[in-house]
Amino acid sequence: WPRVLLFGDSITEYSFQENGWGAYLADRLVRKCDVVNRGISGYNTRWAKLILPRLITASTSAESIVAITIFFGANDSALKDLNPKQHVPLEEYAANLKSMIQYLKSVDINEDRIILITPPPLQESAWEKACLAKGDKLNRCNATTGQYAQACVQVAKDCGTDVLDLWTLMQKNQDFSSYLSDGLHLSPKGSSFLAAQLWSRLENKVSALPSLLPYWRDVDHTNPEATLL
């Protein structure tokens, strides 16, 4: 069956939870394609670049992928001094995104099937509480996250892919704190916002997909093999 593949960090991994944005897409696309969750909590682009060829190979999976989202940056943008394990320098982050796009193109997934998603904004006071509860200091800041979002947008322009600038859209003319559950990860409202924004970019990529297998009323019950085989 055709597939939409969601590749990202914890914000993607959690997207199939109740009211999650991935679950929303799966519901919208049921019987048209599979929505496959390849979110890996805590990962950054440095690690994602290495595992992408294991997830998608030219021989087994590329042909069936009608769209792929690449959604990293929330971990890359962690402050180096306070979170060196996840931090990736800004220039390397951009280079890693380009590298992933180039790999996908090398297995015949063209740029018109790729959607980059920027990290969402960071609500610092809420995330600080989450950090303190784990015995850590505040290890991210929204201004830095914004620099990574801008880099992601620029990569999309340079490479000719779609992009969803979540960082900017969530802050447009509104308090964005309700979009986040802990200052970093999405709340149900944030998931709904992302799903709606993403659908507007995804719809044209999947609109031509037919419904898989006949509607039940159209099956010849006296000779189902004639309809179904």
User: What DSSP state is assigned to residue 211?
Assistant: P
In the set 9, 87, 162, 185, the catalytic residue is 185
**Residue 10 among the catalytic residues:** yes
Kindly give, in sequence order, each residue whose CB lies less than 8 Å from that of residue 17, ignoring residues fewer than 6 positions away: 23
Torsions phi, psi of 113, nearest 5? -105, 0
- CA separation for the pair 215, 41 (Å, rounded): 38
Tell me the CB-side half-sphere exposure of residue 29, using CA atoms within 13 A.
Answer: 27
In the set 34, 61, 165, 182, the catalytic residue is 182
In the set 10, 61, 99, 178, the catalytic residue is 10
- Determine contact, residues 167/146, Cβ cutoff 8 Å: yes
Which is nearest to 105 in space by CA: 199, 46, 97? 97
Where in the sequence numbering do the catalytic residues fall? 10, 182, 185
